[in-house]
Structure 1
Amino acid sequence: MINATSNNLGKKNLLIAVMVMKINGFTEGAQPEQLLTSLFSLASNWGDVFDTSKLKAVHLSGAMTNVVYRVTWPKSATEDEERMVLVRIYGEGSDIFFDREEEIRTFESISTHGHGPRLLARFPEGRVEEFIHAKTLSACDLRDPDISTLIAAKMREFHVLNMPGSKTAVLWERMRKWLIKARNLCSQEHTKEFQLDILESEIDTLENKLSKHQHDVAFCHNDLQYGNIMINDKTRTVTLIDYEYASYNPVAYDLANHFCEWAANYHTDRPHVLDYNMCPNLEERKRFVQSYLSSKGNQPRDTEVDQLIDDVEKYTLANHLFWGLWGIISGYVTHIDFDYIEYAKQRFSEYWLKKPQLLKDE
């Protein structure tokens, strides 16, 4: 893995490369010079003839925390075959949500377990990753029974990873930290609209009620929207990517997060709009949970399936608060073209709507 600390390109080639990158839209959030140092070093290690004038950068839509590009260059002057990598530019303010060095360690550790892409290089504003040659899922793919079953099995596989560090759930403490940040950032209007003055009590109440029961805690992805799931159509293998928010948490929370993401389609003219009618119905949730629990070869009891379904439903409330706070903070610190505040409104509206029903037995 390469760290970009010095410029190995000649001044003339560097200027050409910077112009090429900017023409291809690579202007958001990073200094091309630092990135090009990393790319040049990678290409040299791979034995490529690095023609800076033939670099191409294509922006990949759908990311809401970072800005992501597919960057390619010819491997040699005589062959048509291209080298392809993924470049991730850290979004403005994203360090508020997680510790970047810890996230890098998580990324590398997951890679050593054989999951996801390899980390190829780092530079101050981002990193270069292995490009996974597979199809990113679409919103409608989540509703395909066969694909959903594959996702369930991959989640179970992900949850048994033995990751370094504390094995304690971080969900509640992370939300409290985000609430403090949201209060510091918000206007009086938004503070009142989102009822930030009472949210600490809501988090406490929710934690107390949901923690009364014993829940399995495991290493969770915590952001399993369709854009973070890739599938190889030939081998029918699923890969989970983007681990910025990954940590130990209740398994039921991770499944709840995935189910909530069925409501989203981030590739429309209004990507912030959520349609909760698209969330999985009871039959779809049951099929997913059964696939999840049976993926290791054990046939779960009906009571085990029903209990996890019930736990997952309750943890959707924590999910709405979590991403609602994320939306508020992002609305103040991020300049990606996405209506974060309106997204947060929908999350909190769903929380207040569903809370009486889901917690009535508690």
Structure 2
Amino acid sequence: MEKEGRRENGNSEGIILNPSKRLGGPFMMGVVDNADENREDRLTGEVKSILESLASSWDDIIDCKQLQVIPLKGAFTNKVYQIKWPTRTGEPSRKVLVRIYGEGVDIFFDRNDEIRTFEFISKEGQGPRLLGRFPTGRIEEFINARTLSAPDLCKPEISALIAAKLKEFHALDMPGSKSVILWDRMKTWLSSAKQLSSPEEAQSFCLETMDKEISILETKLSGNHQHIGFCHNDLQYGNIMIDEKTISVTLIDYEYASYNPVAFDIANHFCEMAADYHTETPHILDFGKYPGLEERRRFVHIYLISSGDRRSELEMEQLIQDIEKYSLASHLVWGLWAIISGHVNKIDFDYMEYARQRFQQYWLRKSSLLGSSGLQPP
């Protein structure tokens, strides 16, 4: 669930970056909304001007003003568009991606940090390149890949690719602070959820007792044995792309990326296997799809050996146990996110029901994973 934030550096003018010829390919984020194809009026004059200037640097474009604007489905807080131009050679059209930032969700992360992360990961060859910026969004490179679907996450061969890529991602040496952000993020989001919620909502979600639950998790899960890495923190299927020619995956959308325990990142990915955001009821989760023990063990094994790690069986089992415990943190994080989103986001999605399901899973699994410490829901 791509989940969004803030204006880039207060910059009011569009910027074109790296207008390269290394563009094109069938980038498929979600599904093309054919009913709205070629709706140029969805983009401001400033954005179209930047796109035309970008296209003018390519010598195979018939007319840089002859752009097609195709909305893509699948984004929860941004508006995302495929932009393409016909070429003289008859080759596949030149394509880029335009991302218009969602409104009212700057509580979730700092857009400046997200842009810096995007640029760093791009330079490391881990994702699409940044081609241009404007105050309310950016232009990205298309990559030769398709977005995964919910069923893809359960395929052993794809899951293995994700495990290896995630280990590689966690090893990125992102500049800046390497402190764990998870617990402060949860506390900040809890404060916002309380401020936005009615008394009835706060009571139904046990928000007044949630600070105690967060403290319990922080105390129980923190430890010297925890491995800290640069985590994606939102590894649902829509944020993973696969190139079926090279049999490789790319992680995209780094709005929530930060340093965290790697067990949390893996746990969050496992929890996302319960979701399918492309159904008539995208808010409904099926935790019967949560991976079983053997699937989890296989994922962790591939994750560890992919970089040549030599871990003992005991260390591997410890990571598997930690991942299960961090699933509780994942439920609270996205439950709080959903409550806030329900108040600030206009997208047609039942955020409150999604929050209810995430909190329900927290209470259902807490006792078996942590014991009976802490309050129970009324």
TM-score (norm 1): 0.90
Shift of 1:119: 0.4
Tell me the distance in 1 between the aligned counterparts of 2:276 and 2:58: 38
Report whether the alignment pairs 1:92 with 2:74.
Answer: no
Shift of 1:319: 0.5
Flag the 1:234–1:23 CA change in 2: closer, same or farther, 3 A.
Answer: closer
Letter in 2 for 1:57: V
Q: Identify the range of structure 1 (120-129 vs 210-219) with the bigger mean alpha-carbon deviation.
A: 210-219
Tell me the distance in 1 between the aligned counterparts of 2:131 and 2:170: 25
Selected match of 1:173 from 156, 181, 184:
184
Q: Secondary structure of the equivalent of 2:229?
A: strand
Report whether the alignment pairs 1:146 with 2:157.
Answer: yes
Deviations 1:28-83 (A, max 9, x none): 6xx5212112101211223434353x42222222221312111111234x746411
Tell me the distance in 2 between the aligned counterparts of 1:80 and 1:104: 32
- Show the counterpart of 1:353: 364
Structure 1 unaligned blocks of 5 or more: 8-20
Report whether the alignment pairs 1:292 with 2:292.
Answer: no
Selected match of 2:72 from 60, 81, 103:
60
Shift of 1:213: 5.0
Shift of 1:295: 0.5
Tell me the distance in 2 between the aligned counterparts of 1:186 and 1:160: 38
Shift of 1:132: 1.2
Tell me the distance in 2 between the aligned counterparts of 1:228 and 1:134: 12
Deviations 1:305-361 (A, max 9, x none): 111100000000010000001100100111112111111111111111111111029
Shift of 1:212: 3.8
Of Structure 1 and Structure 2, which has the larger fraction of its residues in helix? Answer: 1
Equivalent pair of 2:233/2:257 in contact (CA under 8 Å): yes
Report whether the alignment pairs 1:309 with 2:317.
Answer: no
Tell me the distance in 1 between the aligned counterparts of 2:40 and 2:192: 30
Deviations 1:261-301 (A, max 9, x none): 00000110011110000010000000000000110123432
Tell me the distance in 2 between the aligned counterparts of 1:265 and 1:106: 27
Equivalent pair of 1:4/1:34 in contact (CA under 8 Å): no
Tell me the distance in 1 between the aligned counterparts of 2:303 and 2:168: 9
Q: How does 1:265-344 map to 2 (within 5 A)?
A: 265-344=276-355
TM-score (norm 2): 0.86
Letter in 2 for 1:243: Y
Identity of aligned residues (%): 57
Equivalent pair of 1:35/1:123 in contact (CA under 8 Å): yes
Q: Secondary structure of the equivalent of 2:213?
A: helix
Report whether the alignment pairs 1:5 with 2:13.
Answer: yes
Q: Secondary structure of the equivalent of 2:57?
A: helix
- Show the counterpart of 1:24: 38
- Show the counterpart of 2:32: none
Q: Secondary structure of the equivalent of 2:278?
A: coil
Deviations 1:196-225 (A, max 9, x none): 111111111110111145201110000000
Q: Secondary structure of the equivalent of 1:96?
A: coil
Q: Secondary structure of the equivalent of 1:34?
A: helix
Letter in 2 for 1:66: N
State the structure with bigger RCO (CA 8 A, min sep 6), 1 or 2: 2
Flag the 1:250–1:200 CA change in 2: closer, same or farther, 3 A.
Answer: same
Structure 2 unaligned blocks of 5 or more: 1-10, 16-34, 374-378
Tell me the distance in 1 between the aligned counterparts of 2:366 and 2:221: 12
- Show the counterpart of 1:122: 133
Equivalent pair of 2:14/2:133 in contact (CA under 8 Å): no
Equivalent pair of 1:49/1:75 in contact (CA under 8 Å): yes
Selected match of 1:106 from 117, 120, 123:
117
- Show the counterpart of 2:249: 238
Letter in 1 for 2:113: E
Shift of 1:131: 0.8
Q: Identify the range of structure 1 (210-219 vs 254-263) with the bigger mean alpha-carbon deviation.
A: 210-219
Flag the 1:290–1:43 CA change in 2: closer, same or farther, 3 A.
Answer: same
Equivalent pair of 2:97/2:140 in contact (CA under 8 Å): yes
Report whether the alignment pairs 1:69 with 2:81.
Answer: yes
Selected match of 1:37 from 49, 53, 71:
49
- Show the counterpart of 1:50: 63
Equivalent pair of 2:14/2:135 in contact (CA under 8 Å): no
Tell me the distance in 2 between the aligned counterparts of 1:25 and 1:263: 34
Tell me the distance in 1 between the aligned counterparts of 2:69 and 2:199: 41
